[in-house]
Amino acid sequence: MPSKPPSRRTISVDTLARVEGQGALHLTIDGDRVIDLRFEIFEPPRFFEALLRGRHASEAPDIVARICGICPVAYQMSAVHALERIFRVEIDPAVRMLRRLYYCGEWIESHALHVHMLAAPDFFGCDSIITLAEKERAAVERGLRLKKVGNAIIAVLGGRSVHPVGACLGGFTRLPRPAEMRTLHEQLARAHDDAVACVRWVAGFDLPGQSSDIEFVSLRDPVEYPLCEGRMVSSKGLDCAQEEFDDFFEEHQVPHSNALHAKLKGRGPYFLGPLARVNLNFDRLPPAVVEVARETGIAWPNANPYTSIVARGLEILYAVDEAARIIASYQPPSAAAAAVRPRAGIGRAITEAPRGSLYHAYETDDRGIIRSARIVPPTSQNQAQMEADLRQLAPALLRTTQAEATRLCETAIRNYDPCISCATHFLRLTVEPR
């Protein structure tokens, strides 16, 4: 006769494994009731918004690239779009396509890293990519090849793959050379098959089932799969301009996190990232990607957060094919960057970071000096939804071992590919005068 599960259990994961940055989880369950749940982000705040104040707008792309070693392009792109709105900069269509290519590079390297090194070990009983390599050698080699292609794109346009320096207001500091573009195109042509194989591999994982009443949110563009443009839409009818972010979303502090939580005003938590984008933009994916998505046998749109890893795989494939398409039709612009004339004003922009919508807002004076900066990264916005998912998981945690319960919680958190280091620069420090 099976032993009766304990009615009360506390699960404490002091340092979450295989997430980017440092966080912890504390969960106490009594019966079927969660009486305490804290996804703790204890990394110290980094005050990037304060660092930006007083600096010239032209310095912003290099400063914000330092926020994250995995998704610097996203920070650069949200910053330049917001600031260019203030300065009314006209971007050459060819430069716009180069930015799209640059962003594809980041999606490929970031998603390939997460799928193979952080998430996949969960599904093979492995604790790291090193032990996974012993069981799934071909897949790990493929993942490393894909990551390398993504890094190569960022290095060509950004000068280097980590903390790149090539993006600037108006465009890039230099244009790619034809030989560099040819080499990238050859690498991308080879990467297509790897990306298809990656989708098939992750779709074959024994993914847990969870149906939730989730509000998915992402950008949606009239024509393209969203990267840098579009309106913010949701699976429950939200449809707002990027500039209206503060009218519909609000941030709030919780005692246990150094990153602000966020919610949709009057509604609650929401879900950002690849699964949200695929769910809300499936009709914007090219036929070749749709065909591979259908082959997986998974219904799209899909409300199970565990299918995020498949959505991430589909976005690797999308980004590989989109990058190859952009290079094949590339005609160099007349200048690497448009002229920029500073103005006073307020600019806001959202772009789709690998982990979801990344909001930046700036105020500048007439010399282009940044007077205020606000950055709302996807991981901080996803925290409340992560906690909601963990609450739903709670009953299952009572019926298993401590080690397995920890693994289940970490797997649920990894659906969001949280980048904790990105999220932790939001602590509002109040100094009380004496």
Q: How many CB atoms lie within 10 A of CB 43?
A: 18
What's the min distance (Å) between Cβ of 51 and other proteins? 13
Pick between residue 117 and residue 227 the one whose CB is nearest to other proteins.
117
What's the min distance (Å) between Cβ of 122 and other proteins? 16
Give the residue from 75, 13, 11, 63 showing the smallest Cα distance to 419: 75
Give the residue from 226, 215, 211 showing the smallest Cα distance to 264: 215
Pick between residue 63 and residue 162 the one whose CB is nearest to other proteins.
162
Pick between residue 134 and residue 291 the one whose CB is nearest to other proteins.
134
> Please, are residues 14 and 24 in contact by the beta-carbon 8 Å criterion?
yes
- Please give the C-alpha separations between residue 434 and each of 44, 423, 429, 431, in angstroms, as whole numbers: 25, 31, 16, 9
> Of all helices (H) and strands (E), which one includes residue 131?
helix 129-135
Half-sphere exposure at residue 320, Cβ-oriented, CA atoms within 13 angstroms: 32
What's the min distance (Å) between Cβ of 133 and other proteins? 4
Pick between residue 35 and residue 50 the one whose CB is nearest to other proteins.
50
The set of residues, in sequence order, having a beta carbon less than 8 Å from that of 430 and lying 6+ positions away, is none
Q: How many CB atoms lie within 10 A of CB 372?
A: 13
> Please, are residues 135 and 126 in contact by the beta-carbon 8 Å criterion?
yes
State the residues that interact with other proteins by CB under 8 A: 18-22, 69-70, 117, 128-131, 133-134, 137, 140-141, 144, 147-148, 151, 162, 421
Pick between residue 59 and residue 243 the one whose CB is nearest to other proteins.
59
Question: Which residues partner with 13 through β-bridges?
Answer: 25
Pick between residue 271 and residue 416 the one whose CB is nearest to other proteins.
416
Pick between residue 133 and residue 373 the one whose CB is nearest to other proteins.
133
What's the min distance (Å) between Cβ of 421 and other proteins? 6
Q: Using the 8-state DSSP alphabet, how is residue 222 labeled?
A: S
What's the min distance (Å) between Cβ of 340 and other proteins? 29
What's the min distance (Å) between Cβ of 116 and other proteins? 11
Determine the Cα angle at 346 with ends 340 and 349, to 5°: 80
> Of all helices (H) and strands (E), which one includes residue 98?
helix 93-113
What's the min distance (Å) between Cβ of 244 and other proteins? 33
